[in-house]
Amino acid sequence: MSKENPTQQAGENPKPEIPKSSRIPNGTIINVVLFLGLIVLYALQFFPAKGTQDELAPFQESEMEEITDKLAEGAFNIAFVNSDSLMANYHLAIEMREGFEAEQRRLENDLERRQRNFQAEVQSFQNEIQTGAISMDAAQVKEQELMQKQQELIELNDTYSNRLMRQEMEMNNELYQRITELLERFNEEMGYDYILGFSPGGGILYAHNQHDITPEITRRLNEEYNEN
């Protein structure tokens, strides 16, 4: 006689038991739920509801209107001056550059002449020592004289270099002052928001020719230079 299952009551059908081989692991169920959640987030991110699109449309339109208004107000009213071209054609800059180069050549020639004389004196002193034409006491005195002249040449070279640096700085300051003063007067007529300085290899990588005011600025600078 078979024994009855103590958990099974009379009149109740036993619950079917899922075979172990056909059960879905709990980890798989979680992965499926996460995957479905990602799909929903992706859809909401890239395909917003119609109501959301309608809410964004006025913002985009107002932003475009703001940019259009700025353009209409002349927010990009810009001109530029080609620095290289201006310096190559401005009469005052040409005159100053020629004067500076002439002074530079004069100082360099003077220093080279002094150096040649010093080298010749050193060579003569060495010959006197080799031939014994000079006494030891006289050689020591002469050596001190040559050392002093060498030090004077070094100091003279520094003096000339500083003089040229100072002259170049003064020249650039005067040119800058004259150009900026004219640009201020010029802009009272034109009303530019910005007047930029353009040169190859500078900070501005591209400038359209229609914004180039270099010829007009150069013409006015030369007129004032010729009048003065």
Please state the domain extents for the chain: 24-72, 78-227
More confident residue, 130 or 3: 130
The pLDDT > 90 percentage for the chain reads 60
What would the mean pLDDT of 91-104 be, rounded to a whole number? 97
More confident residue, 46 or 175: 175
What would the mean pLDDT of 52-63 be, rounded to a whole number? 57
Residue 90's CB is within 10 A of a number of other CB atoms, namely: 20
Three-state secondary-structure class, residue 116: helix
Taking the CA of residue 98 as centre, how many other CA atoms within 13 Å lie in the half-sphere pointing to its CB?
8
Residue 39 has pLDDT above 60, yes or no: no
Q: Which of 186, 183, 185, 177 is nearest to 196 (CA)?
A: 183
Q: Tens digits of per-residue pLDDT, 162-174? A: 999 999 999 999 9
**pLDDT grade, residue 62 (50/70/90)?**
low
What would the mean pLDDT of 118-146 be, rounded to a whole number? 94
What would the mean pLDDT of 65-86 be, rounded to a whole number? 73
**Which residues is 198 bridged to in the sheet?**
82
What sign has the CA pseudo-torsion 169, 170, 176, 179? negative
**Tokens representing residue 67 in the block:** 């940019």
What would the mean pLDDT of 9-16 be, rounded to a whole number? 44
